[in-house]
Amino acid sequence: MTPADLTAELKRSARELGFVLTGACPAVAPGGITHLAEWLAAGHAGQMRYLGDRLAAYAHPQSILEGVRSLLMLGLPYQAGEPASAGAGEGRVSRYAWGSADYHDVIHRQLRKLEQRVRQLQPSVRVRGVVDTAPLLEREFGQRAGLGWIGKNTMLLNRHAGSWFFLAALLLDCVLDYDAPWTTDHCGTCRACLDACPTAAFPQPYVLDATRCISYLTIELRQAVEPQLRPAMGQWVFGCDICQEVCPWNRRVSGDSEWFAPRPDLNPLSLVPLFALDDDAFRAQFRHTPLWRARRQGLLRSAAIALGNHPVPEALPALRQGLHDADVLVRTASAWALGRFPLADVSADLTQRLAVESNPDVREEIRQALAGRNGKRSENDG
């Protein structure tokens, strides 16, 4: 089988499996490794230390598959309609996490089918499919494979699919028929993504400071969110789509995904019931969804911040419960959120908790709340 025939058959099979974008490129050392090293040195990765720990592995796809010669880059769509408005006591979840399944599970299942197809066509070829957990600069290789260009918000953009897709790769130790790399940047003078970011997470075009990104704050961060960033998080409790929602290239995208159609309880997410979940109940509800990555304490921390950003009386029982939660992160965020309510409604709760609280960070958060330094209080509270 010629490289051209093999590539054409693999692309056809990939499309049948739901990958709307396909492109082949050689396995080479990515030029972006230098940019990645500089980005890490600038501290933009925050607590994502695993990126720096395996920096050397990103230097070549050889670290994933020995003898690799080619990559088939793939895009699987997840855009599933427009988000429902988040009302009082509700939080927003990023579109990719609306479905009942974790995208890793879905994509790995489809990749295994594609791997089987490779072995049927070329039994001697070694192959491995990966999603976003392998040390691979997927966006650069996606651009090398002709799938699109890297936009100012650092997402890979395609003229037809926008950025509403997951990237995956099939690594093979044989030669494929390579596509021409994408060389044109179609962002032009547009700054929509940069200007719309509420936390100013883009210090410059094409550079993301993850430590200010709402997706990082709600998913990766394992400590309290910096107070100055909390109001800008709005009602986002898992991920953020703002820089994609404002992108003109995404206005052209429509359609649903069979795997990632929104569950009614995730678009939007009701926040008050979360505070009644213990670890076992949280596991039962979210174990096989992307929200599991945030863990209970991370999701409740973000939920408390969202409730504080849109204080309604219905949220007070949940935040009072959160103030006495076993986890420090939940207590810290709940204290901050209660401080956004009228003092007359929360003073007794905060004072009683302060009397028994032993953690210094939570104690300080309670003091700030009692002093009215969190904003969102009525002008009569003083």
* Spatial separation of the C-alpha atoms in residues 278 and 243, rounded to whole Å: 33
In a domain, residue 123? The reply is yes
Distance in angstroms (rounded) separating the CA atoms of residues 316 and 318: 5
Strand 90-93 and strand 236-238: the pairing is parallel
In a domain, 206, yes or no: no
Query: Residue 101 has what pLDDT?
Result: 85
State the pLDDT at residue 92: 97
The rounded distance, in Å, linking the Cα atoms of 314 and 341 is 12
Cα separation, 105 vs 293, whole angstroms = 13
* 3-class DSSP assignment, residue 39: helix
Residue span of the structural domain in which 143 resides:
3-36+54-80+101-172
What is the predicted pLDDT for the residue at 379?
43
Q: Please state the domain count of the chain.
A: 1
pLDDT in tens, 292-307: 999 999 999 999 999 9
Q: How far apart are CA 171 and CA 353, in angstroms?
A: 55
Q: Considering the domain boundaries, does residue 9 fall inside one?
A: yes
Write the DSSP assignment of 314-375 as a string of letters: GGHHHHHHHHT-SSHHHHHHHHHHHTTS-HHHHHHHHHHHHHH---HHHHHHHHHHHTT-SS
5 as an active site residue: the answer is no
Residue 146 lies in a domain: yes
Residue 13: inside a domain, yes or no?
A: yes
> Helix or strand or coil: residue 143?
helix
Residue 80's pLDDT is 64
Q: What totals of helices (H) and strands (E) does the chain contain, helices first?
A: 14, 9
Identify whether 105 is part of a domain: yes
User: Are β-strands 165-172 and 156-157 bridged in parallel, bridged antiparallel, or unpaired?
Assistant: unpaired
pLDDT score for 380: 44
Residue 71 covered by a domain: yes
The distance in angstroms from the start CA to the end CA of the chain is: 79
**The token pair that represents 39 in the structure block:** 């980005």
Q: Which residues of 224-239 are buried (b: 16+ CB within 10 A; e: fewer)?
A: bbeeebbbbbbbbbbb
Tokens of 148: 């699109």
pLDDT in tens, the chain (382 residues): 899 999 999 999 999 999 999 999 999 999 999 999 999 999 999 999 999 999 999 999 999 999 999 999 999 999 767 888 898 899 999 999 998 888 999 999 999 999 999 999 999 999 999 999 999 999 999 999 999 999 999 999 999 999 999 999 999 999 999 999 999 999 999 999 999 999 999 999 999 999 999 999 999 999 999 999 999 999 999 999 999 999 999 988 876 677 888 888 899 999 999 999 999 999 999 988 899 999 999 999 999 999 999 999 999 999 999 999 999 999 999 999 999 999 999 999 999 999 999 999 999 999 999 998 887 765 444 4
CA distance 257 to 311: 34
Q: For residue 254, what pLDDT is reported?
A: 72
Domain for residue 318, yes or no?
Answer: no
Q: Which of 132, 185, 195, 279 is catalytic?
A: 132
What's the rounded Cα separation, in Å, for the pair 280 and 290?
A: 17
Q: By 3-state DSSP, what share of the chain in percent is helix, strand and coil, each rounded to 5?
A: 45, 10, 45
